[in-house]
Structure formats: C-alpha cells, structure tokens
Structure 1
Amino acid sequence: MGAAEDRRYFKKMTEIRSKKAMFVRDKADISCQIWFICDGHLICTREAQTGQVIVEVPTDAPSPTTPTRGAGKLALWKSRSTPPQRSGTAKFHPFQEILRRAFSSSADRRAVAPATSPSPDSSPSEQPNVASMLEWPDTPLEHIRSLSPHPQLIQSVYHTAQSSISNTLEYHTGVPEGLEEGVTTRAALEVDIIEGGQKDPRKLEEELERVKDQQNKVMEELCVALEQKLQLESQFAETDESRKELEQKIVAANEMLRTYRQERELLRIELDNALQKVEEVSRRKGDSSGTKYFSEFSMTEIKEAAQNFDPSLKIGEGGCGSVYRGFLRNTPAAIKVIKLHSMHSSQEFQQEVDVLSKVRHPNLITLMGACPKPCTLVYEYVPNGSLEDWLRSSTRAKQLPWQARIRIATELCSVLAFLHSCKPHSIVHGDVKPANILLDEHFGSKLSDFGICRLLSSGEQSSNNTTVLYTTDLKGTLGYMDPEILVTRELTTKFDVYSFGIILLQLLTRRPPLGIANVVQRAISTGTLDAILDPLAGEWPYMLAEKLTRLALRCCEISRKNRPDLRSEVWTELESVAASYR
C-alpha cells in the first residue's frame, strides 16, 4: 500500500501521510500484514494478528464484477513470519514478478492465466496467494529495463497486471477503492519505465556527441583557467616581493626620520643655549660698556649714498618719513629719513636706535647706523620689499606658495618670541603688520619699524602674572591692534600675539584684516574652509590649513588670557608643521 505520493517522500520518513493508507491501516482485517511504501522505500509495516486468514466467498451471491467462485470456503494459508527489514536503499517493485512472467517462456505466461481467472473447481492451494503476489523478487529492475519487448507484448503485460491486481483485490472485501487505484498506478509506472528505456540509437549517439563536445569545451576552459591561475600566482609572487621591498624601505625611512628628529632636537637645544649665552653676553656688555651694534654716519655720507635723495631711488614713503635705496661704504643700504614734525618723532627715532642697536636676530632688520641730524636711520637693504606688497598683488601672490607662507609665519613667531623674552626688559613691537615685514631674496622675513615699540619692566605685573605697561597713548594700526587695550589701557606681550594671529589668517586667505577672524570662524563652523583659502598659494593640504587656522583663531581671542604663548605653544607647533612639509 502506498504511504504517500512519491513526490512527498523524504529520507527519514517513518509515518504514512495518505488518508487512504491510514484508512486501510485502521480498517483492514487484523489478519492482514500490510507494507506501506513510498517511492520504492518501505516506510512502515502493520503486522498481522493471527497466522491464518480465512475469507468466505458465498456461492449463491456472485459479484457482478468478478467470476463465480463456487460454494465453500477459500482458505488462504500464510505462515506468520518476520516482516522485511527496512533499508535506506531498498526498493520495492511489486509487479516485477508479473512482468518477468510476461517476458519469459510461454509456460511462465500460462502461469499468469490462473491468477487472472480462477476456476471454481480449483482447490484452495491453487488459488492465488496474496502474499506471494506482493512478494518482491530478487530480479533487479535494471534487468527488466535491459529487455527489448515488442509493443504488443508490453500492452499484454499491462492488461495481465491489471487483471491480476483486480482478482487479487477481490479477496479483500471492504478495502477502499483508493488501494486498487494506487496499485494500478504503480503498474502503469513500471510499464512507462520499460518504454522509456527504449530509445533510438541515433539519438543516443547524438547525445553522446553533444556530451563529448561539452566535455571538450570544459577541458579547454579548464586549461585557460589553469594558465590564468599560473599568471596570477606569478603576479602575486612579484607583488609580494615588491611589498616586502617597500616595507623594508619604509622601515629604513622611519629609522632615518627618527634619527633626524633626534638630531634636530639636539640642534634646537644647542641653539637655545647659544642664544641664551649671546643674550647674556650682550646684556653684560651693554650694561658695562654700553657697546652698540651700529655706526654713526655723517649727513654728507648719507646724501652721497642716496645721491642727494634722488626721487628715482625712493623705495617707500609713509607718515613718518621716506626710504631711499643707497650704497654706503660699499654696502647696499636702505636709508630712512624721519620727518621731524613733532617731539614724538624724535622720541621714536631715539627709541628705535636704542632697541635695534642692542639686539640681534636672523629675522630682525639690521640697523647699520644712524645720523642724529637730521634723524636718519640706515638699515640693511632687503630686495623683495614688504609682505604687504606680495599679498596685495595677485601677480606677486602667485609667487608666494603656501610653503613660503608657513616659513614666513614661523620666522615671524620666532623673532616676536625673542623680543618678548629679552632681559631685563621685554620688548613689545606694537605695530606688527605685513607692511613692516620685509622679504629678502630667499623670501626670508625681517621685522622692521620699531618706532612705537615699548619696553616692559619685569617688576610690573598684572593680575595674571603678565608684564604690563599702562599707557594712555594708543598707537598702532587699526585691524592689527589688540581690542582689549581699548578698554584696559594695558600693553602686554599678548598685543603682538593678536597681531600675529591676524597676519597668519591673511597668509591663509589673503583677505583684509578687518573682520577676518569672524569670517574664518564661520567657515570653520560650517565646514567651508576650502572656499576661503587663497588659491594663489597652491593646493593647501586641508589638515594643515585647518590646523593653522585654528591656531590663528586662538591668537585672535578677544580676551588676552585665552591667547597662547608664542614661545612655548605657537612656535613649537609651527616648527613641527614646517618640518613635516619641508
């Protein structure tokens, strides 16, 4: 009996799923032993309860659909035996015996006939045995498939199987019609299998050729794939070798970088020590003998050097005087003639002479000498003019790349830190702006114009331990002046820090000083810093530009206590940035 449709079979199936099979299992006579199968596999077995089953066939009430069997009782003896064992690969073919009889000798075919139409006079032992009809032969199904039966013979087998199944099922009164239908369907499937095994040899040859072609194509593709594999392996080996070489180079470069950094740190320490010694020696000499690093020139020498102040030699002019280019004592010089329009002019002249004659720094303009009457100062000649000229002109700004601008900012920070650390008096420039930053032939910066500088006494301290000078005379340039001094009237070294921050923002953006801090702050907040960076400086590294911008904004804080120290914070950060992009 089928346990379920073949398509519902699965490997670990142990329960029947067909409602008809369940009905047969529950309603069939208890003397019946029933095997439930699905897709050729034994699913389960319902054991018989007795060793003998007796079926009564009345002689006076023949069935209209079956032949007359006569009076009496037909006893079907079946010895109770152990049911077949289940196997994961065992296949059950209930009709192989019938088919084998049909394809065998005529004597075998005659043996099928009694099963089709049993005689009324036949004895019980000659009646068909249900157990023997459902017994699975040892002949494999492959043997049946290998046969070449005639179509008429196949039809005969099919009808013989139909008749045998019908006669066998007549002995089981009360069995549902679904059982007969299931067995009949099984027989039809067996015949279909036999018919499907008979194919045209030409078609088989064509299929074989097609399979061979496919195999050849697969082999060709396999060869190509193997070649590609070898190429890829070779490329991988070369790439791996290159990677190892690059790793070795990186390790060597890192080692060299570490060595250079150590050397740079040692040189920096030596430089600081040397500067301290120079300052100490200069201070001792200045205190003891009043030695000054400049010469006094006569008015005759100055007029001769400036060719009697020829207008064609004028290189600059401002509110405090005019500057001429000259050649003094076989040395190029810049001669500044100060206009004496007030007492302040004379004081500024004397103050600049006193300051520049006592200090020296690579980024500080060198005072070669002076002439007291009229008030004339002689400086070293710086050929490239002022930073303001370069930032104001678009043509010249293109020649000032971002690397040079970082160098200018670093040097300006260095000289301001030097002035603020002078002993015994700190020097506040008071007018740091691009016009007072001169550039030499290598774009090295020189800070000039110390006319309004102030000396701060270390004895005067403010509430935050900053050296201050209380003044009522406010001097400087609008846009670069410390806004806090307008309220407190206190002059400190943080005045120059604010001016430095504005100049650093101008180096980044090439914008005017008024309101530049607010514009840059908004750009940082909105993430649009790229839009305001000066494109004439080249392509700024964004991380570097952002770092410098934030540093400049710290220097431009309204409250001076929030501004960083130039020597310990700003210069250290600028030096590290400049070293990484050299």
Structure 2
Amino acid sequence: MPPRQLPVAQAESVNEWEVNSRGSPSQGSGASVWSSSEEVLESTDSISVVRDEGSEDGSTLSLIQDSEDGIYRSSPMNESNEERVDSEMLDKLKQAMAEAENSKKEAFEELVKRRRAEKDAIEAIRKAKESESIYANEVKQRKEMEALLARDTLELNNMKRHQDEALEELKTAMDQKMVLESQMAESDRLLKELEEKIVSAVELLVNFKQERDRLQLERDNAVQEAEELRKRREEEATSSHTQQFFSEFSFSEIEAATRNFDPCLKIGEGGYGSVFKGFLRNTEVAIKLLNSSSLQGRLEFQQEVDVLSKMRHPNLLTLIGTCPEAWSLVYEYLPNGSLEDRLACKGNTAPLSWQTRIRIAVEICSALIFLHHNKPNGIIHGDLKPGNIILDANFISKLGDFGICRSLPSDGSLNTTTTLCWRTNNPKGTLVYMDPEFLATGELTTKSDVYSFGIVLLQLLTGRPALGITKEVEYALEKGNLSALLDCTAGDWPFVQAKQLAYLALRCCEMNRKSRPDLMTEVWRVLEPMKAACGASSSSRMGSEELSHVPSYFLCPIFQEVMRDPRVAADGFTYESEAISGWLDGGHNTSPMTNLTLSNCDLIPNRSLRSAIEEWLQQR
C-alpha cells in the first residue's frame, strides 16, 4: 500500500513543530522558552494530537491514529498504489513524531529546567539583594563601631590625661605635705623660741616696773616743782590783788572721783587728753586728764588755768579746780554735752529749736565780747567751734577749752585804728573754723574769733557741716531759696530773723578781716533784739510761776510771752507783731492756731489790748 501523503497543511504543521521543537535549548531567555512551548502546542493541535498529561504513549498513539484516518479519508482512490509510500511516510512520520515527541519532551524538560533556573536566578537575585542590604548594614554598623571605638579611644586618652594630672597633683600634694611637715617642725621650733622670749619678756616687765617706779619718782619731783611754781604764782596773784576762783585736788581724789578712770565714765576725748565724768566732794564734775603723749598738754594746762581762774561769766565754762599732780582740770559738769553733738542729734537726742539756737548765738556773742574787752589784757579764744560750746541742763551755752587762747598786748585799745594781734609761725586750731588771714600771716586778732563765730552761726541756721557752708548759704541767698537750706528740724524759722542772721554770718566770714563786723558795735545790735523771741533774759520775759498769774489773752500764742505790740491777724487771733510778721515772712499763708488759709496778710494793731497790758504792767 503506497504511503499516504499528509495534507499540505498538516505537513507544514509537522515541519513547523519539528523546527520549533528542535530549537536551540541554549537560548537563555525565559520568553524564548515560553514562545517555543506555545508553538509546539499549536503544531500539535493542527495535526489533532491529543495528549494525556499522565501518559506519553497514549498521546503518541492518538496522534498516529488521527494521521492514518486522515490519510485514508483524503486518498480513497489511490489506496493500493500508495500503500508503500504511505508505509514509508508512516514510518517517517512515526519516526518524525517520535523525534518530535522526544524533542517536545526535551523542550519540556528544558522549559522546566529554565523555569527552575529562572526561579533560582530570582532567588539568587533576592539573596544577592539581601546580601547587599546585610552588607550595607554591616558597613554602617562597622562605621558606628569605628566611631564608637574612636570616641572610646578619645575618652580613654582623656582618662589617661586626667590620671596623669591627678598623679601630678598627688605628687604636688605630697610635696606640699612634706613642706607643711617641715613648717610644722619649724613652728615647733619657733614656739620653743617664743616660750624662751616670753620668759625674757617677764624679766623685762620686771625691769619696766622698776623703771616705772623711777619715773614715778621723777613725776613726784615734777609735781613738787609745779607746787613751787603754783606757790610763786599765788604770791604773784596776791601781790597783784587778783582773786583766784578755783581749788586744788589731790591725785587720789581724782582717782576716787573717776573710779580709777573707769572707761564707762569717759565722756569725751581731744588733743589735750580725755574727759571723765566724776563726783568730787559730792559735786558732779567733768575732769580733763592730760594725755601722757601730748607734747603741748602742760602748756595748755597752765594757759587754761591762767584764763579761767581769774574770770567769771555766765557763758564761760566754770573751772572748779585743778590737780597739778596729774595735770588735770576740774570743771562744772554740763549734762547736755557739746553743741556739735546736739546739732547732730547724737544719741537720738531731740533737735534744738530755732529759739534755742538763736539764744545760743546771743550767749556766745556775749562771751566773746567779754573776752575781747577783758582788762588789762584782751583774750582771743582762737578755737571757737561747736565742739567747744557746752550746754547745761537748761541748754544755756558755756564756752570752754581755752588751751590755745592768747592774750593781747596791754598797750593800746581795741577801738583804736591799730589792730592788736598776737603773732605766731605755727597757727593752731581747727582748720575749717580758722581765720584765713591767720593761716596766711600768722596774726591772730579778735576778728579771727569773729570769723569762727560766723561759721558757727551758719551751722546753727542750717545744721550742716562747716566745710563749704559759706558757699551754700551765699548761693541760696542769691537764688532766694534760703528757706530750703534752713534746718527744718528746728521748727518754723521766723524768716525775717533767719535771713538777717544769714547775712550777718556771711559778713563775719569775709576773707578780708577788715570787712568783718565788730561784735559789740554791729553784731550785738542785731542779736540783742532777738533775745525776747528766743527766750534770753528780757524785762518782758517771765518765769513759769509768774506766767501762771498772767491773763491768757496777754500772752502771744507763738512766743508765749506778754505782748508789747499786739496785732490782730485775719484768723481773728492776736499775736506779738514780731512773731506774726516772722511767721508770714517765712512763706506761711495759714494761721498758726488753726492751720487754715488766711484770707489776707493784713495785721491790725490791737490798741485796746495794748493799753490793758500796759496798765497791768504798771500795777505790777
């Protein structure tokens, strides 16, 4: 039987399948494998090959059977002639199909291998990426470890450096310890030496006691000489008929009076020495004791004795007695201390009123006039200042400390054109109170006391320190602002009197002594009329017992004294003319009694009251 020929479409399908199935398995792309597989499947479908996935033989037989059926159906007429050809073709076809099946099988196996390879490649890529990530992390961790290692290395180096420093400090401390031990040993040695020196000092102390006894003996001799000098002066005083107003006390009395110079009784100290409060012969006294280191003390002692023993004045400090043995002066005790302390309100004491301050100025002026006109020789105090003005229980002032006072020559008069003076090359006193011309020329005159009095007067008005006070008052007067400079703690100053005192004080403080006013002819004329306003002695001034019998309407509400020139103010009250004028001139526009604003500043003379007062005074 001739071999059956396959239809052209089937042959082409077989050839195509063969070609595709025999394609080179060496192609590495996954897409080529899949395309080849699809082509094989298409070729197999075209020749109606039905393959069971579970059996390869079944698939082949089905294919051959389909082929034979097709051949027979396509060539029924030539069956005999073509049996041989068909047989050959069949054999070839079977062979081709077998080869195709093998190729398909190989291709499938190759496909599986490729899929596995692809899967392995993907897994390898994934692992490679994981490895890269792990590597990157390891690199990062390595860098971090390196940084940490570097930091640890730095810290280790620092610790090593600190350790070296600590070792060095320890070494230094050990060296210092050795030095201190050496110093302690040296201190022990010095201590022993000091103990030896103390023993020597005790011996010296014994020698000093012996020397003190020797000096005591010399002092006794000096006292004896002073006693002889005193006796000679008494003889001179007797011969000149000059009365002495003081007593002499022994050193034992002075020690007993001051409880052996108890520091608790010390009330003052100056260049001359210390001042103690004491009780001497049942009398409260102030005892000025010569300072052993004072070079001028003995000269000042004798100077003060010579002045105060021969004169008495209500405003001069009273000398009760002396102790030549101890070079001590015994004064009356004045409980209110110095004017300097009272102006400063030392010990929280109450400030001085303006009336008291004006009265003090009047009293000091009186004392200076008395000294300057003393007979036969005028006396210049030379050290007038608030510290040398002492106040008694009633705030009456007493001028003291005559240690550097000087006597004027007896030939001539103070009222002559020739100014008497005392010359020196070594001016003494307190600088801010000293006469500038005295400092420049060494000539001490009564006008030197006038300059000091002017400074004191300015301090009474302002309560300020002496340094620069003249410039301050001059400036205040130029600006019309004197009321702001007045010491407000003194109360409401009568402005007219305050201004008058300020101009007077500045005249006293003139640099040229010839321009300064005379105390008796000029200063006293200004101060004396102010006595009534400040409580100084006056014919119209009465004691508290006398005032209790005076009709109340006769008394000035401000001065609390019998009125001489009564005036009615706008508030309806009657005042002394000087008192109410001073109140209004001081810048007040209110009533002194009601503190209400006055409608006007007119003052009407109260003639009926004045007549009644004059009649009452005549009846007294």
What TM-score do the two structures reach when normalised by structure 2?
Answer: 0.47
* Rg comparison, structure with higher value: 2
State TM-score, norm by structure 1: 0.50
More helix by share: 2
